[in-house]
Amino acid sequence: MKTLKIGVVIADDMEYAPLKNLGGQDCPYFFRDGHIFTYKTEEKEVIMHAVCSGIGKANAAAAAMYLIDNGCDMILNTGLSGGMNGILRGEITLCDQYTEYDFDLTPLGYKKGEKPSQKNVYNADEKLLAFFKELLPNARIGMAVTGDRFVSDDCLRAELNERYSPMSCDMESAAVAGVCSMANVPFLALRRISDDAGADASLCYTDMNENEKFDLAVIVLDAVKSMLNNDLF
C-alpha cells in the first residue's frame, strides 16, 4: 500500500482550535497540541500530522523540521494573514512565493532580505499549488512576506508594498518554506486574510481569530482526503 504523509503547521492556539473537533488522534507536540488523521483505500493511505507550533518564525521552523524528521512527505502551513495590495478580509490565499522581510544584513553590505550563500525567496511546490488552485478556484495567488512582527502599521505596510508588492504578510510561512527548501520537501501555505495590516489590524485579527470565523481546518482536511484519489500524489 502506498502511504502519503502530510505535515501541517498551524501557529496560534485559536487558529488550531477548529481542527481539534474533527476527529483526529491526539498526538501532542511537546507541550502543545498535535493530531493525526488517517484515511485509507485498498491501494493508498493518507496521513495528516498537524501540530500547533506557536507563533513566529523560530517556532514554525522547529515544527516543520519536527514533521519532516517524523516522515512527512510534504508540509502545509495554514492560518490567518494580513492582506496587502487590495486582498480583502475573508479571502483565501495560496502563497506562491515567500520571503523574510525582517532579515537584515545591510550593515555588512547586503540588501535587505538577502542571505549570504542561500536563497532568500522560496517558491511553493508546483504540484501542491496546482492541486489547491483546482480545489479552490477563487483563491488569490501571490507572494507572502514573513517577519517576527504583527503588522499593524500603515508605514510598515507601505514599505513592504514598495519593496515586494506582496499579497499578504504573516509570521511563519517563509520560515517553514526555508526549512522545506533545505530539506527538499514540497511546501505550500494556504491562509485566510484577517485584516489589512494597517492601524486597525489587531482588532480585525482578534475578532476573526477569537470567534473562529474561518474554515481552513475543514478545507485542509477535505484536501487531504481528496489526495487519496488524486494521481498527482
pLDDT digits (tens, 9 = 90+) for 58-74: 999 999 999 999 999 99
pLDDT band at 156 (very low <50, low <70, confident <90, very high): confident
Query: Can you list the alpha helix ranges (DSSP code H) found in the chain?
Result: 13-16, 57-69, 126-135, 154-164, 173-183, 201-210, 216-226
Task: Give residue 210's pLDDT.
Answer: 55
Residue type, 117: S
Does 129 score more than 80 pLDDT? yes
Nearest-angstrom CA–CA distance, 89 and 188: 20
Q: Between 180 and 153, whose confidence is greater?
A: 180
Residue 192: which of 163, 162, 220 has the closest Cα?
Answer: 220
Residue 195: which of 74, 100, 84 has the closest Cα?
Answer: 84
Whole-prediction pTM: 0.93
Highest mean pLDDT (candidates 78-82, 114-118, 139-143, 202-206): 139-143
Task: Give residue 88's pLDDT.
Answer: 87
pLDDT digits (tens, 9 = 90+) for 93-103: 999 999 999 99
pLDDT digits (tens, 9 = 90+) for 178-231: 999 999 999 999 999 987 655 555 555 555 555 554 578 889 999 999 998 888
Cell 507572502, residue located: 144
Give the helix/strand (H/E) hosting 44: strand 44-52
Task: Give residue 206's pLDDT.
Answer: 56
Cell of 73: 512527505
The mean of the pLDDT values for the chain is 90
Q: What is the mean pLDDT of residues 131-152?
A: 94
Residue 100 lies in domain: 2-229
pLDDT digits (tens, 9 = 90+) for 19-53: 888 889 999 999 999 999 999 988 899 999 999 99
Whether 131 contacts 228, CB under 8 Å: no
Could you give the number of structural domains in the chain?
A: 1
Residue 203: give its domain's CATH number.
3.40.50.1580
Whether 149 contacts 102, CB under 8 Å: yes
Nearest-angstrom CA–CA distance, 179 and 60: 9
